[in-house]
């Protein structure tokens, strides 16, 4: 007996047939004696299609209109999911972000949840109804619909779980948990039974696509346990929760890579105080999500300033940099779009000296050229050429002893077998 | 200088290219010195596609979910229209039914507007913004989205026009006004310069698809002048307004036909008081829109009870009738789906005796068999076999002197030429 939030991604609701499968799973959770609230993404490629329609009409669609447009995707899938549940003789009711009481700030396309008024959902549960909530969206103080950014449905699920005091927040997708690396790149990657919020947060921020970083942050802040699992099997997935002694004691939890970022270098910047502030406050106020920042050693009073940001933010970043260049008396800037970031993540790094040295040696032994380096207490990221990303991930995975005895395909067996083999593997 | 509401139907916003044309027309209204508010329907066949998705999941989708699903169609077209306007350098802002302050009762799929809080639209106008309102939808007292029924966008336009005190409510479609009959059936039909609310209401109720009857009713109640015109030309259309001496003085304004209804006959009903009440209150409480009701002459204490209703309501009607049959001690019922209703409409009928006789003669002369008859002070409707509908409309159009000298295709010239020829024609 529990109260469970179950979130399904776009692939899981891509067709009427898949929506029926989602409905059946929700009903089976219910039949197992639980109360359940569903959170759904938009069907398959709906969001991309809506973006395409907008692009046909306006190069820079107004953010308020864009959010309103995109929010219809989840509003379609939520009603269809509710209809499917009702067709099996159970009661269901859909809730848009606004109806579910998801209140946000006014930052369109990247809104942050400020409050969850879950009264209507609780009332529906009390009446025996299965509530189906539209992911990815909320409503701001002006009554306008906002969206939480791509992947924001995970955040909706965690926020709803917190708002109703759920026992678990199950996030269903086409992968069955969190792996030590992307199994498509590293066939010897293995699935983690559990991972701490901190490590998951670093992995998500570093490009592991399974869970949205903001969702993990929200879960950590409000102590919501996430269970990342597969829509297509009953295997146990990976629990994301507070670090505890039962978790694996490896130095490194996993390796993530991200090919979606670009590198921008501003050359010959005068080495004066206030220059970096000018650049990065201008970028921030234009909503460019700067990731890594590196300033090279100064030569003759001039230096190079390099940062990375999502490729999607590049047009805005170019505009800002071109506007700021004369104000900071810099000469020129260069963009490199063929880069990849590889990150090794693990809370164990704090107490294990030599992680960086080991990583750099492994990369050097394999002739991987490092373009940028950045570190946090539990993460080491290197930027390499996009052409070397798979090699870099594989050699680091091996160097840190993460390779499993068996390759990925063999593992899609059962949770028990997997756990046994994983324990043997280390 | 005026304040104009301009409503565009699904065909007018069916593609990004058409939406750009709508945006340009709105801008030209604005450039002519007016303030303008747009009301838009869903793009092309969107509503049908959404209905199809729902049907794939549930034979009888819950009405609340269905309304929520369908409302996304107009929410997409409103944002795209706003984006298109902005792309031409004008400011625009979309408003869903709820954001536009369209409050309704809770009757899903057939909601009635109870109040219009147009403050946000007025504020947008005051800031120089072109508001774009989603047609067809509102919000009920529980915060749930409702829809106004097919064609409900016309009603939205009239309600918004009333709410903001507009000077005119222009309803754009792929026909350029109100004709004396459907020009596809009667090539000699002619366009009316103006028509009274009463006649238009009867024509709309009788199947003339150009304007939704409820929109006309709303316009009559709140004295909103409607201008029905074409999206694809600048020709003047037809004004719908209070009857005044300037209007054409023909006995008959027009002839409408409707092939969407079905006929249900309950046989051998005991001729007792209360029987009809039982049948029709059951139908009403199941939201079956009964149109004509005819009770045949009683034979030996038994009678036949016949009614017509929209074909879409037939499944519900069957259910109700089957449930009620034993309670009224009736034997059986029959359904005829191959019928058509032909109606002649005109305020002038009140003061012109002999209209019915003339109509029946014309039909008899052409061997059209009349199945049912029903009348109002300004309308005479006959139900005929679907196979005879075109013949019936044409012979009545001729009999009442409505034929124009020129055929429909020739008329798509200019408003002036048309008016001149129409005046000559009578």
Q: Which tens digits make up the pLDDT trace of A335-350?
A: 999 999 999 999 888 8
Q: Is residue A189 part of a domain?
A: no
**pLDDT, tens digit (0-9, with 9 covering 90-100), for A130-145:** 999 999 999 999 999 9
Residue A422: pLDDT band (50, 70, 90) is very low
Residue B206 inside a domain? The answer is no
The answer to whether A94 faces chain B, any CB pair under 8 Å, is yes
Instruction: Look at residue B300 in the predicted model and tell me its pLDDT.
Output: 76
In a shared domain, residues A296 and A163: no
Put simply, the answer to whether A86 touches B56 (Cβ < 8 Å) is no
Write down the pTM of the prediction: 0.79
Cβ <8 Å between B65 and A56 = no
Select from B59, B61, B75 the Cβ nearest to the Cβ of A72. B75
Listed residues B173, B205, B225: the one ending a domain:
B173
In a domain, B235, yes or no: no
pLDDT value of residue A214: 86
Using a CB–CB cutoff of 8 Å, tell me whether B274 touches chain A.
no
Work out the minimum CA distance from A19 to partner chain B, whole angstroms: 8
Same domain, residue pair A118 and A252: no
A190 vs A174: which has the higher pLDDT = A190
Average pLDDT estimate for A38-49? 95
- Establish if A281 belongs to a structural domain: yes
State the pLDDT confidence band at A421, using cuts at 50, 70 and 90.
Answer: very low
Best of A42, A51, A62 to substitute, by most chain B Cβ atoms within 10 angstroms, is A62
Assigned domain for A404 exists: yes
Q: Does A53 reach chain B within 8 Å, measured CB to CB? A: yes
**Last residue in a domain, options B139, B158, B173:** B173
pLDDT at A417 over 70: no
Q: Tell me the average pLDDT across A284-311.
A: 85
- Residue of A62, A84, A144 lying closest to B58 (CB–CB): A84
Is A19 at the interface with chain B, CB within 8 A?
yes
pLDDT of A376: 84
The pLDDT of residue A231: 84
Domain holding B104, by residue range, is 3-173
Q: Count structural domains, chain A.
A: 2
A58 touches chain B (CB under 8 A): yes
Residue of A nearest to B77 (CA): A69
Of A129, A155, A173, the one marking the end of a domain is: A173
CATH number at residue B90: 3.40.1160.10
Do residues A29 and A134 share a domain?
A: yes
Per-residue pLDDT tens over the stretch A342-401: 999 998 888 777 888 899 999 999 999 998 888 888 899 999 999 999 999 999 999 999
pLDDT in tens, chain B (426 residues): 799 999 999 999 999 999 999 999 999 999 999 999 999 999 999 999 999 999 999 999 999 999 999 999 999 999 999 999 999 999 999 999 999 999 999 999 989 999 999 999 999 999 999 999 999 999 999 999 999 987 799 999 999 999 999 999 999 988 889 999 998 899 999 999 999 999 999 998 888 777 888 899 999 999 999 999 998 888 899 999 998 876 766 788 999 999 999 999 998 888 877 888 889 999 988 989 888 888 776 677 788 889 999 999 999 999 999 999 999 988 899 999 999 999 999 988 887 778 888 999 999 999 999 988 888 888 999 999 999 999 999 999 999 999 987 665 544 444 454 445 444 433
- pLDDT of B411: 45
The answer to whether residue B186 sits within a structural domain is no
Say if the Cβ atoms of A86 and B143 lie within 8 Å: no
Question: Per residue, what are the HEC states of chain A?
Answer: CCEEEEEECHHHHCCHHHHHHHHHHHHHHHHCCCEEEEEECCCCCHHHHHHHHHHHHCCCCCHHHHHHHHHHHHHHHHHHHHHHHHHCCCCEEEECCCCCCEEECCCCCCCCEEEECCHHHHHHHHCCCEEEEECCEEECCCCCEEECCCCHHHHHHHHHHHHHCCCEEEEEECCCCCECCCCCCCCCCCECCEEEHHHHHHHHHCCCCCCCHHHHHHHHHHCCCEEEEECCCCCCCEEEECCCCCCCCCCCCEEEEECCEEEEEEEEEECCCCHHHHHHHHHHHCCCCCCCEEECCCECCEEEEEEEEEHHHHHHHHHHHHHHHHHHCCCEEEEECCEEEEEEECHHHHHCCCHHHHHHHHHHHCCCCEEEEEEECCEEEEEEEHHHHHHHHHHHHHHCCCCCCCCHHHHCCCHHHHHHHHHHHC
A114 touches chain B (CB under 8 A): no
Contact B72 A69 (CB under 8 A): no
Q: A407 and A262, same structural domain?
A: yes
Q: Mean per-residue pLDDT for A7-19?
A: 95
State yes or no: pLDDT of A426 exceeds 50: no
| Residue from the list A56, A62, A71 with its beta carbon closest to the beta carbon of B86 | A62
């Amino acid at each position: 007996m529990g109260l469970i939030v179950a979130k399904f991604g776009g692939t899981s609701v891509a067709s009427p047939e898949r929506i029926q499968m989602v409905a059946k799973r929700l009903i089976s959770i219910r039949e197992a004696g639980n109360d359940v609230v569903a959170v759904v993404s938009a069907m398959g490629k709906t969001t991309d299609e809506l973006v395409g329609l907008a692009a046909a009409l306006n190069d820079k669609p107004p953010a308020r209109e864009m959010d309103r447009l995109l929010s219809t995707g989840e509003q379609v899938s939520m009603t269809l999911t509710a209809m499917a549940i009702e067709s099996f003789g159970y009661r269901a009711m859909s809730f848009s972000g606004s109806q579910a009481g998801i209140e946000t700030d006014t930052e369109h396309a990247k809104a942050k949840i400020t409050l969850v008024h879950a009264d209507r959902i609780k009332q529906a549960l009390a009446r025996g109804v299965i509530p189906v909530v539209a992911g990815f969206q909320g409503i701001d103080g002006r009554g306008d619909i906002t969206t939480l950014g791509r992947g924001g449905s995970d955040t909706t699920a965690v926020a709803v779980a917190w708002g109703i005091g759920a026992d678990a927040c199950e996030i269903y997708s086409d992968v069955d948990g969190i792996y030590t690396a992307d199994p498509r790149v590293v066939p010897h990657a293995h699935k983690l039974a559990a991972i701490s919020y901190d490590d998951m947060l670093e992995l998500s921020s570093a490009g592991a696509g399974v869970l949205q970083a903001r969702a993990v942050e929200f879960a950590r802040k409000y102590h919501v346990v996430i269970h990342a699992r597969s829509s297509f099997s009953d295997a146990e997935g990976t629990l994301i929760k507070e670090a505890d002694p039962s978790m694996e004691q490896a130095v490194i939890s996993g390796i993530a890579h991200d090919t979606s970022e670009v590198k921008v270098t501003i050359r010959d910047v005068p080495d004066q105080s206030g220059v970096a502030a000018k650049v990065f406050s201008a970028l921030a106020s234009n909503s460019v999500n700067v990731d890594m920042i590196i300033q090279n050693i100064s030569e003759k009073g001039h230096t190079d300033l390099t940062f990375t940001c999502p490729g999607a933010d590049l047009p805005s970043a170019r505009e800002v940099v071109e506007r700021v260049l004369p104000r900071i008396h810099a000469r020129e800037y260069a963009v490199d779009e063929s880069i990849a970031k590889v990150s090794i993540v693990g809370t164990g790094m704090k107490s294990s000296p030599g992680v960086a040295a080991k990583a750099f040696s492994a990369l050097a032994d394999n002739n991987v050229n490092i373009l940028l380096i950045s570190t946090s207490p539990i993460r080491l990221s290197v930027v390499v050429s996009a052409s070397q990303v798979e090699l870099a991930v594989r050699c680091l995975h091996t160097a840190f002893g993460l390779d499993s005895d068996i390759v990925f395909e063999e593992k899609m067996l059962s949770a028990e077998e997997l756990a046994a083999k994983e324990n043997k593997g280390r």
